[in-house]
Every structure is written in structure tokens, then in C-alpha cells.
Amino acid sequence: MSVLDLTQPRAWIAEATGVAVLTGAGISAESGIPTFRGPGGLWNNYKPEDLASPEAFVRDPRLVWEWYNWRRELVSKASPNAAHDALVKLEIKKRIYTLITQNVDGLHDRAGSGKILRLHGDIWRLRCTACGANWPDRPVPLPKLPPHCQCGGVARPNVVWFGEPLPDGMMKEAEHAVESAPVLLVIGTSANVYPAASLIPFAKQSGAKVIEINTDDTAYTDHVDCALRGPAGELLPALLA
């Protein structure tokens, strides 16, 4: 069903003991952060294999870092929007709650969300390619590209690139969160990237009601219980009011 009547999805959320949430780049669009696909999407102008793959980093770490440096700069000037804020309020209301995000921008953290599973990592952390050390890192712009670890090794953004597995145990934790919640809210993701997108059919199999919020149709629109069309910054506060 595709509706703009919020009565039914509101009732599902109100009655649910727990809610799991899966977010993607679309939730940060109204903060001015470009999405990856669709109009204005980053992957219209850049190739993921040139900028977001381990091979690209080995080939040209400086180029990859220039791109991440630019994205960090963009995010540092942005603020969480009404959709990020609405999720913080939802977390306070629900006993069982997990926010699963594919975003690396840190806007959920800045809004004040507590329990966050960052499936694709965090651009505000670096990881050493030599010793594996992992640390928070905020300077914008970075003073030297590529940055280095104290051990002398080259540091990379602590994010998941194409062809890389998710952090150990992360997907199991996300699946556990989804099967523990009678409602899954799917916000601003094209649901093209796996394994994250598999949480949607997984929720259906677990018997959850799945509510999608997106400005456009997605790979799973026909399979969800309710597809709400519109910007997350408007729809989510209205849905959760």
C-alpha cells in the first residue's frame, strides 16, 4: 500500500513494544548532504571503484582522502535535520529501540541518538592500514593527506568500502534488533546495497510491519506494508508526533 494517510502506520508504531530503524543517505539530504544515487547523487559523477574501494586506496590514497576530506568538510558545516531529531524522541519513548544506519556522516550522533549500529562505519574515525589502530579524528580539513598513524602506517577512513565485509558481528546485531521489534522504519535508503538491504525482507519474515519513508520508489516499495512518499524531514516528525 502507498499512502499519505498516517493513521495506520501511527497505530502500528504506538502499539509496538519496540521499533527498529534503518536509515540511508536520504535522511541527511535535507541537511545538505548529497545522496549516492538518484538526482544529484554522488555516484552520478564519481565511480565507487575509484573512490570507495580498497583497490582505489592502494592505487592512490591521496585521491581517496581528498574525496573524504571534502565530504567531512561538507558534513562539518551541516546540522542534523528534523528527521534526525524525530528519531531521538522516538528512542526516548520506546523500550526496545535500535537505529541501524548506513550513513557515515555522524549526524545521528550529533542529533543525540544513543543506540546506533553504524553498518558502514564512521568518517569521523580513522584506522591504520599497518597496525589496525582505530581512533576518533575531527580536524577539518585534515592537515596532511593521507594522514598517518603514530606507528608510521598510512591511515584510512574507518568506513566500509565496496567489496569489504561489514565490521565483525554487526549484521548479526542488526538482525537481532530487527527481529526483536514489531515495526521496522526504513528511511531514505534506495535499498540497493547489501547486506544492509536484506534487513527489509528479514523484517517481513520476522513478522514485523515495515514502513518506508522516501521521496521516491525503492527496490522494496512493493514489499513493504506502508510506503510514505515525501521528504523525511517533514514526514517523520508528522508520523511520530
31 binds ligand OAD (CB under 6 A): no
* Single residue of 64, 189, 200, 228 touching ligand OAD by CB under 6 A: 189
Q: Is 176 marked active-site?
A: no
Q: Assign 3-class secondary structure to 12-36.
A: HHHHCCEEEEEECHHHHHHHCCCCC
Tell the smallest beta-carbon distance from residue 103 to ligand OAD (Å). 6
25 binds ligand OAD (CB under 6 A): yes
In whole angstroms, give the CA distance from residue 196 to residue 101: 9
Size of the site for ligand OAD (CB under 6 A): 27
Q: Which stretch binds ligand OAD (CB under 6 A): 55-63, 128-136, 166-174, 184-192?
A: 184-192
- Catalytic, out of 84, 108, 120, 223: 120
Tell the smallest beta-carbon distance from residue 111 to ligand OAD (Å). 15
198 binds ligand OAD (CB under 6 A): no
Of 71-100, binders to ligand OAD (CB under 6 A) are none
* Single residue of 20, 29, 56, 100 touching ligand OAD by CB under 6 A: 29
106 binds ligand OAD (CB under 6 A): no
28 binds ligand OAD (CB under 6 A): no
Q: Which residue from 210, 199, 194, 196 is spatially nearest to 177, judged by alpha carbons?
A: 199
* Single residue of 19, 22, 35, 175 touching ligand OAD by CB under 6 A: 35
Q: Which residues bind ligand OAD (CB under 6 A)?
A: 24-26, 29-30, 35-38, 41, 48, 52, 102, 120, 160, 188-190, 192-193, 213-216, 218, 231-232
Annotated active-site positions, please? 120
